[in-house]
Amino acid sequence: MPKFPSVGKLEAARRQLETAALLHFNSGDPVPIHTLVAAAYGVLEDCAAKQNSKMFIARSLEAGLSPELSKVLKAAMRKPQNYFKHSDRANEPGSIEYSPTFTNLMLLDAYVKLVELTGERPTILVAFQAWCLVHFQELREMLPKEQELPEQERRRLEQLAPQAFLKEFMQHNLGLQS
C-alpha cells in the first residue's frame, strides 16, 4: 500500500502562502490567490490564538473600535473567503466584489505571523514582503529611515511587472535566476 504524505498545519499554511505568492508574481488569477491566502490566514490565526497572539489586521481592527464594529469589519473581511468556499448559501448574490489589494495585505500579515510562529522566511515570501514595501506607502512609513529605498529606486521598482520584480529581487538579493 502506498504511503500517503503527512503535513502539519503550519507547513500547509506556509505552502499555501508560497503558492499564493508565486501566483501573484506570475499574474495569476486573484480568486485562487485569495482562497489560498484565506485558508493559510485561518490556520495561522488559530495557531497564534493558542499562543495568546493575534494577527496584525485583527489587532488593528480592535484598536479603538467598539466590539460591535470590530465584529462587523471581521465579518466583511471573511465574506469573500466564505463566498468562494461555499456554494449552498441561500441568500448570496450571483457574484461578489472583493479587493485583491486587501488579499495582498492578508498575505503579508500571514507571512509576518508565520515568521513569528516558525522562524521560517521562505524566499518567495521575503520577495513578496519587499514588493509590498515598494507598493504600499503606509508600510514604508513603518520602516526605520536607514531601511528606506531612495525614492527614485522605489518608483523604478514600482513600475516593474510582478514577474520582473521577482526576477530582479532574486538576482539582486540572492544571486539567483528566477
* pTM to 2 decimal places: 0.83
C-alpha cell at 171: 538576482
Write down the pLDDT at residue 42.
93
Residues of the chain with pLDDT under 70: 61, 65, 86-93, 142-144, 146-147, 175-178
Domain presence at residue 144: no
Write down the pLDDT at residue 175.
64
Write down the pLDDT at residue 117.
95
For 82-95, write each residue's pLDDT tens digit: 777 766 655 666 77
Domain presence at residue 170: no
CA dihedral of 13, 15, 16, 20, whole degrees rounded to 10: 140
Please give the residue range of the domain that contains residue 90: 9-128
Domain presence at residue 110: yes
Domain presence at residue 158: no
Q: Please state the domain count of the chain.
A: 1
Domain presence at residue 42: yes
Domain presence at residue 162: no
For 34-62, write each residue's pLDDT tens digit: 999 999 999 999 999 999 998 887 777 67
C-alpha cell at 28: 495569476
Domain presence at residue 96: yes
Write down the pLDDT at residue 51.
93
Domain presence at residue 174: no
- The DSSP annotation for 23-39 comes to HHHTT--HHHHHHHHHH
140-134-64 Cα angle (round to 5): 40
